[in-house]
A and B are shown apart, each in its own frame.
Chain A
């Protein structure tokens, strides 16, 4: 057994907790998981069934942990892990599973195949078999903190430019995008790029929120690698910043895995976590329900459908909030089928969109999603996750769908700005209207 294989197995052994043991042990090989998987739905080959993918891990697990597997490996399909198996496992765990957990939802035993694939990703990352691009993106995020003084100047320079756009959009020359504002109530963590900063800034301005923008981006490629050390290092930058500024709440940009990391995982990683974490989707839905955002849905007249990101919806519980928003900001909202927790993955999740050599693979995996979108007849597909948006844009181009892909907040801002314009041009009400209003 090579040193690399031994190292991989040592990492696997460390990750064997009760949840993973249950996932490895209780599969009844019924095959129901197959039809729930978007990869299998696109290419109905038994190797694409979640149970078959997990078998690549169960084989070497049984060789060590199953008494029969130790004595008569052929009897239970047990096998020693080899160098060649690591290559095959990398293709499966990183390239053929997006950790979407739709199979888990549909499994009569609740087998968490994504957990098994995460354990495989962790061991592959430890022995240098993870996709290079994911490793580089994780390391670049860590480097950004290590050289903060260098980046701060660039970043703040960019933000001042965006601030001018904010002032134009809101018509308020005093509108600001605060950065490193100590004592602010909210720390908003965007993604890299203006598309998740400006819409949020417009909405924070609209509701008069006391907020500040994070110096860091919400994305966490360490999480995709299942590398706890890297994932924690990337999350720690934000947690430390929130502590330093003394905020009460972290609000995250529209990003699926960042929500999983900071809402569900990070509170278990850090002892001192004295703030609430929400997605901007939750905040916007609340503002709409409180009547704090005037909205004109005629600003978004085209038919719109919503793609539930697996991390936000099925695994994060944000199923109704996007719909509260969409019903308020668009004229023609059409559900795709199935939807909510049963929605199919777009095929680009868990880092797949960032791995160029798997482009064809993810285009094939997205076939079921393309059918879902076509059936709605929508012209705009909304997704609240950057990974999903990239994949949906690529799918549209690849399959000639001709749809536009949008974030949820972009549509909220359209409706909000239209309502403001309408208010500004509306005739002034006669004073007697106010005179008869109840006190």
Chain B
């Protein structure tokens, strides 16, 4: 079942490293266990967001391409 996000971000049009910068800012605004859903267009996020999740200890719930838009969902773990 799809989880309801605590926050939805529109990162379309932003180039690296801004999607990572924005998600890092936003994650502080959701509680631990909270969910952020984001939409981006820079293909770099396909590598950068999973890497950022691993290095910061947050969970990448899903990352998927929907035509030209990449949707990803991150859960704050700490």
- In chain B, residues 42-59, which have Cβ atoms closer than 8 Å to a Cβ of chain A? 42-44, 46-48, 50-52, 54-56
- In chain B, residues 18-41, which have Cβ atoms closer than 8 Å to a Cβ of chain A? 18, 20-21, 24-25
Contact B15 A195 (CB under 8 A): yes
Contact B16 A217 (CB under 8 A): yes
Residues of chain A within 8 A of B48, CB atoms compared: 140, 144, 192
Contact A154 B46 (CB under 8 A): yes
Q: Which of B16, B52, B63 contacts A136 (CB 8 A)?
A: B52
Residues of chain A within 8 A of B44, CB atoms compared: 191-194, 217
Which residue of A is nearest B68, CB measured? Answer: A161
Given known A-B contacts A133-B24, A143-B55, A194-B42, A219 and B47 have beta carbons under 8 A apart: no
Which residue of B is nearest A138, CB measured? Answer: B55
Per-position contact with B for A181-223: 1 when CB-CB < 8 Å, else 0? 0000000000111110000000000000000000001010100
How many Å lie between the Cα of A354 and that of B17 in the bound state?
7
How many Å lie between the Cα of A354 and that of B18 in the bound state?
7
A140, chain B: closest CB distance, angstroms: 4
Given known A-B contacts A151-B47, A154-B46, A140 and B16 have beta carbons under 8 A apart: no
Given known A-B contacts A154-B46, A193-B43, A194-B42, A390 and B52 have beta carbons under 8 A apart: no
How many Å lie between the Cα of A221 and that of B55 in the bound state?
14
Which residue of B is nearest A356, CB measured? Answer: B25
How many Å lie between the Cα of A157 and that of B63 in the bound state?
13
Contact B56 A136 (CB under 8 A): yes
B1, chain A: closest CB distance, angstroms: 25
* A139 at interface, CB cutoff 8 A: yes
* A155 at interface, CB cutoff 8 A: yes
Contact B54 A193 (CB under 8 A): no
Q: Taking each of A151, A154, A192, which has the highest tally of chain B beta carbons within 10 Å of its own beta carbon?
A: A192
How many Å lie between the Cα of A223 and that of B15 in the bound state?
20
How many Å lie between the Cα of A136 and that of B51 in the bound state?
10
How many chain-A residues does the 8 Å CB contact rule pick out?
32
How many Å lie between the Cα of A154 and that of B50 in the bound state?
10
How many Å lie between the Cα of A141 and that of B15 in the bound state?
16
* A75 at interface, CB cutoff 8 A: no
Contact A136 B24 (CB under 8 A): yes
Residues of chain B within 8 A of A142, CB atoms compared: 55
Given known A-B contacts A193-B43, A194-B43, A136 and B55 have beta carbons under 8 A apart: yes
Contact A144 B47 (CB under 8 A): yes
How many Å lie between the Cα of A354 and that of B22 in the bound state?
9
How many chain-B residues does the 8 Å CB contact rule pick out?
21
Q: Taking each of A133, A139, A140, A150, which has the highest tally of chain B beta carbons within 10 Å of its own beta carbon?
A: A140
Given known A-B contacts A193-B44, A356-B25, A140 and B15 have beta carbons under 8 A apart: no
Contact A162 B47 (CB under 8 A): no
Contact B43 A158 (CB under 8 A): yes
B66, chain A: closest CB distance, angstroms: 13
Residues of chain B within 8 A of A229, CB atoms compared: none
Residues of chain A within 8 A of B63, CB atoms compared: 154
How many Å lie between the Cα of A150 and that of B42 in the bound state?
19
Which residue of A is nearest B70, CB measured? Answer: A158
Which residue of A is nearest B63, CB measured? Answer: A154
Contact B42 A147 (CB under 8 A): no
How many Å lie between the Cα of A139 and that of B15 in the bound state?
19
Residues of chain A within 8 A of B21, CB atoms compared: 133, 354, 356
- In chain A, residues 81-140, which have Cβ atoms closer than 8 Å to a Cβ of chain B? 132-133, 136-137, 139-140
Residues of chain B within 8 A of A141, CB atoms compared: 51
Contact B17 A144 (CB under 8 A): no
Residues of chain A within 8 A of B24, CB atoms compared: 132-133, 136
B60, chain A: closest CB distance, angstroms: 10
* A386 at interface, CB cutoff 8 A: yes
Residues of chain A within 8 A of B51, CB atoms compared: 140-141, 143-144, 147, 151
Q: A154-B46, A193-B15, A390-B15 are in contact. List 4 more A-B contacts (CB 8 A).
A: A136-B56, A137-B20, A143-B54, A193-B16
Enumerate the 8 nearest inter-chain pairs by beta-carbon distance, A residue then B residue, closest first: A192-B44, A192-B16, A193-B44, A139-B55, A140-B51, A143-B55, A144-B51, A143-B51
- Could you give 30 example pairs across A and B, Cβ below 8 Å? A132-B24, A133-B21, A136-B24, A136-B52, A136-B55, A136-B56, A137-B17, A137-B20, A137-B52, A139-B55, A139-B56, A140-B48, A140-B51, A140-B56, A142-B55, A144-B48, A144-B51, A146-B54, A147-B51, A151-B47, A151-B50, A161-B43, A191-B16, A192-B47, A193-B42, A193-B43, A194-B42, A217-B16, A217-B44, A390-B18
